Amino acid sequence: MTDQAKMEQMGQLAQSIAAVAERATKLIPQMAKKQSEDAVSLFSDELGIGKAFLEVAEQAAKDPMHLMEANTRFAQDYFRLAQETWMGAMGAMGTTGGATAPDAPKEKSADKRFADTDWNANPWHAFVKQSYQLATDHIQRNIESVKDVSPDAKKKVRYFSKQMLDAASPTNFAMTNPAVLREIQATKGENLVKGLKNFMRDLERGKGGLSIAMTDPKAFELGKNVASTPGKVVFETPLMQLLQYEPSTKNVHAAPLLIIPPWINKYYILDLQPKNSFIKWAVDQGFTVFVISWVNPDAKLAKKTFDDYMTEGPLAAMTAMEQATGVKEINLIGYCLGGTLAACMLGVMAAKKDTRIKSVTFFTSLVDFAKPGDLGVFVDEQQVSALEKRMAKRGGFLEGSEMASTFNMLRANDLIWSFYVHNYLMGKDPFPFDLLFWNSDATRMPAAMHTFYLREMYIKNNLTKPGAVTLQGVPIDLSKVETPAYFISTIEDHIAPWVATYAGPHLLGGANRFVLGGSGHIAGIVNPPAANKYHYWTNSKLPKEPEDWLRTATQHPGSWWADWLAWVAPHNKAKQVPARKPGSGKLKAIEDAPGRYAKFRLDAQ
């Protein structure tokens, strides 16, 4: 490179740094405000983290010999690792002239963070990796070995220790990540400058708080290349729009299909693109498909209750569907929180002898909240009370970014740190990815509804207690629900663990089927047959314990969608009817799908 070219490169670098500094100066007031808010939450210990760690520390101190033995064992293991690394490096250099490292621990070989070959091939990086893994195992073992600790404290310490250990991974630091070091050398450090620009961009979007870009938001547009299955909005309430989809078959099943998605996210996770759209697939199977598209609430809807979501959601939708089709009986699907609402509604309908729902399907839905998994860390009375106060200050709703952050933390390595490395350390732009575009489309929740849900379901687990929850003026008893139910859960679900959702078919009184899919909460559901991915398990019996069910279950390749189709077939009226065009019945079309409720994005404000 000529001196002139070097000077130009240095000038461009200086301009980039100056531009970042200017943006940082403008962001300082917003960052200060955000840090002030976070500090209040930290010092008040709303999550009870400090109290939990103190309890574990106090109990550990009562057995100093055990702690000393554990620390001695760690020191010995660490010395052995250092010795083996040194001897391995010296031996390799003596025989081949190049250094190699000892093999990584076998139990850690599947860790995607350390997929780069240099984590094993380079002695220094291998030592750093294995030192980190050794320390991680030591800390986690010590936490588990502490006795006489309350389950709540142990759960919090276990979870937040993992969060801290994940953050401390050598993959997250430029000087210890071999891929980042190679990129620094290849770009002469420009990747770090680009990464700093990306970091400032995400701070600006987060208004002083870091909002990591997971995908290119400009790559997708609702109604064009996501949420593009043709349909119309045919009905709406303050809380939802009802979408009816254009038929793709000459005749359709007489009983239409209603899908209740969760209002924690947007409905179009089931209609990302034609190749992986459950909605399009269901239309192609001859269903008249209706989907609820929930509103993104603001302060005007702060007092909307869980009861309101039922009344102005699926109950209103079923009345509208009868007007549109002339048919009372329907098949119902509830996804996640939408499934919990569906169970509540079925309890109300059972008490009122309302038999309009001929079958119900639960996608990864909790009905019994006794084992909520890691989400339970965030739900106790102290935290809900603190959340109530925060929501009241903001106008009576939960910001979508808060819930999104909580869910991302459940899979921090995949949904936080991988993007931190890619965007900021490597200086790369995020890839266009439809699922992550949807994941970034955050939604708010009204305070009245959300606190009822957290207290009645998560904290008190009242849905499992006949008569403990009253909705529509009716005490709910799920054992009175005789509607045939299909439960599909996924084996790697971190939001609704399958061992918890397995309680659902035992609580309902009908003839129920439980199926377990591969992968997680989203990928295991959005798994079209054409993709031929993963597998699923079925079992005609429903033993009490989930482990017993899985041990005797039959594994099948591919998607569970075909299994569901075969199960739901007997619950459709045998007679088919001419395909129904949205807007052709008593309900007229309001606008094209996906509708304005779905198109409203918080990050576009």
336 is catalytic: yes
Q: 570: exposed, middle or buried (C-beta count within 10 Å: 0-12, 13-18, 19+)?
A: exposed
Cα gap 404→164, rounded to integer Å? 19
Measured CA distances, 78 to 26, 87, 118, 197, 277 (Å):
46, 14, 21, 39, 50
- Residue 357: strand, helix, or coil: strand
Q: Find where tokens 């010092």 sit.
A: 43
Q: 433: exposed, middle or buried (C-beta count within 10 Å: 0-12, 13-18, 19+)?
A: middle
CB 337 within 8 A of CB 266: no
CB 396 within 8 A of CB 378: no
Cα gap 442→263, rounded to integer Å? 10
Residue 389's CB is within 10 A of a number of other CB atoms, namely 11
What are the residues whose beta carbons fall under 8 Å from the beta carbon of 538, sequence distance 6 or more?
Answer: 513, 515, 553, 554, 556, 563
The 8-class DSSP code of residue 149 comes to -
Residue-wise burial string across 4-30, b where 16 or more C-beta atoms lie within 10 A, e elsewhere: eeeeeeeeeeeeeeeebeebeeebeee
- The helix-helix angle for 49-61 and 151-167 (nearest 10°) equals 100
Locate 86 and state its tokens: 């040194």
CB 104 within 8 A of CB 76: no
Cα gap 26→358, rounded to integer Å? 58
Counting every residue written for the chain, the total comes to 605
Locate 427 and state its tokens: 């200086």
User: Which is it for strands 485-490 and 357-363: parallel, antiparallel or unpaired?
Assistant: parallel
Measured CA distances, 105 to 82, 93, 116, 119, 365 (Å):
14, 22, 15, 12, 37
- Which residue is catalytic, options 336, 367, 526, 598? 336
Measured CA distances, 44 to 37, 352, 382 (Å):
11, 46, 11
User: Which is it for strands 576-578 and 251-253: parallel, antiparallel or unpaired?
Assistant: antiparallel
Is the alpha carbon torsion for 7, 12, 14, 15 positive or negative? positive
Of all helices (H) and strands (E), which one includes residue 475? strand 474-475
Cα gap 87→93, rounded to integer Å? 10
What are the residues whose beta carbons fall under 8 Å from the beta carbon of 278, sequence distance 6 or more?
Answer: 270, 271, 525, 526, 528, 561
- Residue 70: strand, helix, or coil: helix
Locate 361 and state its tokens: 């399907």
| Residues tagged active-site | 336
